[in-house]
A = this chain, B = another copy of it.
Amino acid sequence: MRMRERRREPAIYAKRGDSVSIEFCGLTLAHPIINGSGTFDAIAAQRVFGAQLHERFPFAAYVSKTITLEPRAGNPPPRLWETPAGLINSIGLPNKGLERYLAEDLPALAELPVPLITNVMGASAEELSILLDACDARAEIAAIELNVSCPNVKTGLDIGADPVQLEEVMRAVRPCTGKPLIVKLTPNTADVGACALGAERGGADALSLINTLRATALAPRARRAPVGDSAPRDAAAAWLGGGTGGLSGPAIRAVALAQVAAVATRVTIPVIGMGGVQSVSHAQDLLDLGATLVAVGTESFRDPAAAARIAEGLHEMATRRG
């Protein structure tokens, strides 16, 4: 079932007993805070924190790391670089591949106390169709998020970077599933509002942004060939095993606010806002700009309970109000 929500009316806070619940694409969520894909491994966290994780599960819905058709080992280390108020990651989307994800991880993820959103990525409409068909067939999956920050095998350009290309791909894959289909836009584009419109025209039920900004770092001088040596320097100096990566965290929050604002004013489908959210007031800013849900990513690295703290804070504000 698909539901359309106009952004003009701010996210509805319906008091349900003591909890603040929210409607999103036909799903009823306990609060507006979810995780950014790839920033929280619920299965690993369960091993580390045990039963307490479920007792105070931070997210109103759980978004999986990006799943691809084939398994991926990910990039060689180093995969991380800390920047001023931010983090570059060059993880390289390691995952078990569709088959093993469905067989091994889905059962465990189905045990989570919240709805499951599976994030998938493909390099062509064909690949994406296979991924969507497979997810559509699994009742454990409540919604699907499409990570379109992936080079199109045909054009070489990220599928999500061009409005026309994105709309075409969406038209091609939309029929594969009746489940809510969220498009995770790429921020590395000239006009994110136009891309958002393309996704909506192509049949997206919701949009999420922002993904990480393309970024890189050079190795600390101590760790590389002396400056002035004749060897090609950039090669010598790259820090990340993957060469480049994506920037996240507080450093990108101001960009996220601008892109979420640009998108929310262009489309009528709900928007999931993210990018550098650390506090209740950061989440509230995104909601104020028209986001229906807010995702917490990098901040969970600094504190796995960060999203719980934020959700609880929003709940307090809402109940104080209501």
A positions within 8 Å CB-CB of B: 8, 10, 81, 83-86, 88, 157-158, 161-162, 188-191, 213-218, 221, 227-228, 232-234, 237, 244, 247, 249-255, 257-259, 261, 264-265, 276, 281, 284-285, 288-290, 317-318, 321
Contact = CB atoms under 8 A, between A and B. Distances in A.
Contact of A215 (B161, B214, B255): B255
A284 to B, nearest CB: 6
Q: Specify the main secondary structure of chain A where it touches its partner.
A: mixed
Q: How many copies does the complex hold?
A: 2
Contacts of A85: 84-86, 250-251
Nearest to A221: B281
A227 B188 contact: no
A217 B254 contact: yes
A233 B288 contact: yes
Contact of A162 (B190, B213, B218): B190
A191 B157 contact: yes
B261 A255 contact: no
Contact of A285 (B81, B237, B251, B281): B237
B257 A227 contact: no
A261 B216 contact: yes
Nearest to A244: B258
